[in-house]
Structure 1
Amino acid sequence: MLSLSMDPVLDSGDKALAEQALLQRCVDGLEIARASIWLYDEKRNAIRCQQICPAQQAATELPALTRQQFPRYFAELDKKRVIKAVDARADNATFEFTEPYLIPQDIWSMLDVPLRYQGEVIGIICCEEIARYKHWTDEDAGFVGVLSDLYGRILAAAERQRYQQQLEHANERLESLVRERTANLQKTLDQLRQTQQHLIESEKMASLGNLVAGIAHEVNTPVGIGLTGISHCSYLLSALADSVRAGILGKTQLEQTLAELQHSTALVERNLHRAAELIRQFKQSAVDQSHYELHQFAIDDYIQAVLQTLLPFCRQHEVQLELDLNSGLVLHSYPGAIAQVLTNLVTNACIHAFEPPQAVERARIRVATQALSDGRLLLQLTDNGCGIPRDHLPRIFEPFFTTRRGRGGTGLGLSIVYNIVQKNLGGELTVASKPGIGTRFSLKLGSSSPES
């Protein structure tokens, strides 16, 4: 599940490829013959197969299942609950499929889990066992339920790519039509802004997805150490109990066992505290970035907490974070907006500043704060990467300007940063860069913010 959540194919916009990756994890995780994705039609009177794994049979070759043909099955789907049919040919929800579907496909057991997107059930993930019965457990249903949640990321990425293609096409056409369609220009621009806002929201969720994957990987280490420590404690207690029952327990063995137990429990406690702190930091950062709310907070402490959640992403790109937080300011502003700005600037630097890859000791990002004489904050983020070419520098804040077209770049990261600084924080954002030396982003902001 962790490898799937970190797989970039989920956010690539290639819906068919991402669906295959998700279904393959389902087949491997449950050790079943096949799995498929079925979606409702517009009137919700039929479901059609969109993707099947293994892809030995095309999804289009499977018949559509209609409400008129299978009323009992659709009645169960309408309840929006999991269908666990160990004997699919006798189960009340699925027996209608026996002649037209189960026997021709040699299917014996079915597990259907609802697919939800934007609060609505849009279809099911169907897990099927061939030639034998499969006794589905609650753990099986829970596993497929998590996969169904990840399917929302696939749809969001496909929708984001579709919006992006539509906007790029519209921008190209505007350049040629602007002189002859002046009267319609304002209406078209309004539509573009609305669509762009949807795309920005999707991009924010994608960045939170990267954060989730990094934190999950980071939490795995202290949790693993904790499990090892607990197992060792269990072994020591078992050995101690054996000695007591055998009547051979001596003072030396007792003292050694107690010492090892104290050491192991201390180790477990430290690592569980570490895992809890990582989860707390991630939860706060994710909530802040999802909902901008006005708060009073110590900016240096908050920046340090946000950067802690970005450490796994930086380590993944072999980039070292250096902090020099000495402003001492308390701001009345939007911490979520500041967290989004920091996240985008740091991830943007990790991806772009050190390509082609630099030596590990050179890959550094320095984040510094200081109080200005007018009471405002100066926040600077400096990297020692490849720098920005002079002809690109005036365009880096433009929507869709990217040097990574076709390699996952959307050209929205710095545009989002600029909009947040201007619109939500009422601040000033500038950039200075020298090719081969590095880049510095400077942000000035105070406690007042123009919009809620």
Structure 2
Amino acid sequence: QEEALGNELVAKLYLDWGKEKIAAIYMQEAYYCYARWGAKAKTDQLEQKYPQLLAPIFQETQSSLNFDQTLNSIQSFDTGSSSSSPYILDLVSIIKVSQAISQEIEFNTLTSKLMNIVLENAGADKGALILNNTGTWEIIAQCEKSSCLLSPIPLNDADTLPLSIINTVKRTKKILLINNINQNTSFSGDTYLIQNSPKSLICTPIINQGQLIGLIYLENNFIAEAFTSNHIEILKLLSSQAAISIENAQLYNTLEQKVQQRTAELSKALEDLKATQKQLVESEKMAALGGLVAGVAHEINTPIGTSITVASTLADETNNFIKALAQGQLKRSVLNKYLELAGESTQLMLSNLGRAGELIQSFKQIAADQSNLEHRRFNLKEYLKEIALSLAPQFTTDHTLTVEGDETIKINSYPGALAQVVTNLVTNSLIHGYPAEETGKLLLEVCQESDKIKIEYSDDGCGIEEENLGKIFEPFFTTARSKGGTGLGLHIVYNLVTQKLQGTIEVNSQIGLGTRFVITIPLSVN
């Protein structure tokens, strides 16, 4: 049943190509197969539709046999006779090739499948696929019936193929068939042929759009006259299909490499993030900053997520581009659209990955600054004045920072952490409290309450909206992202106060009346 249908389809294929003589061979074989099967309706259909192709059968039987006689005579034939015909093409294997081409765009998988099918159809013991790789000829695959070696090597460095045969086909771009190497003197000086003495060999060019892109070499080491005209037809068909599939697979690999190159910075950013995460978590002195890990992932999710989306879109369009190319439907408008998308996608990925890189660099700096903190005893007001002095360069002439309170208070705490807290509070005021850079007064007040120290920081800026007061200590919450704000400043303040300084922090604010932070810490940390 399958053989009958297969021969009919091949006959129609050759008929469409205008090769009526070859089509007749397969249509006659289909007729015999349908008759053996007992499909009288089908044989009648073939007789009516393709009488010119079946004429030899009618002449042979003198048009006198009825269907039952034809069936009986065909069924009495040796079932092996059809397989001995040099003109019978194994359509099942041809279908295998088509499936391999349509389903595989991964180069190595395609190459292996292609060579295995070629060996199977041609009855060869050994085969090789040679391709032109940007001017350098390479042996891409060397296969035997049981295995296939996919390890590209330069053709000129190989001693496993007859180079004289290969070079001749490269030059002539025509199939070269030698069915008895012992009787052929044209290549008698070839070292490989002398040492290995194959009985038969055939080499066919792979041509795509008039350009020689590769060669398929086959040999049989046991049988002379192993390759027939039928095998030549098979190889012609397979090589033409192989040319398209190989080019598509190579194009896919090239486009895939370009996408990988454009996402390389994304991979690097993720690696840096993991390294920063490990540094934060393993830092015993700043375990509190371990909570940043989740925040980091959330903050850089936007640029990285955008990059992944863009890369995925580009990959999808690449696949569509390849399909259009494989189907011969590629138009200049489609090509221009793809190139435009690739350019825009590249710019978007670079922009977003740059943003992610800046964030990661900031996280690294924060981790490094906070992990080296040490505690000691120091005068609180004097130290706060030193901090105020160091921050003076950030102020405009209209901003002032005043420190007030008991000058005798001494505490045993972490000056580095306290400095970071004050710095972040002042920076927050300058960025958010005075958007128009108007005059501003900042105030630090300290006092002792039993075994606690209260530090109040206030500004007379624009204040914080009530709906945002409950969010300001959350990581990455900011109302000034357009100005470069990351939303980390007050989150770090909260972590340092509650974890490192072992205290509490509260905030009060009214629109137009400024903001006040109240920090309470112990006189001496545990």
TM class by shorter chain equals 0.3 to 0.5
TM-score of the superposed pair, with normalisation by structure 2: 0.32
Higher relative contact order (CA 8 A, sep 6+): 1
Q: Tell me the TM-score normalised to structure 1 length.
A: 0.37
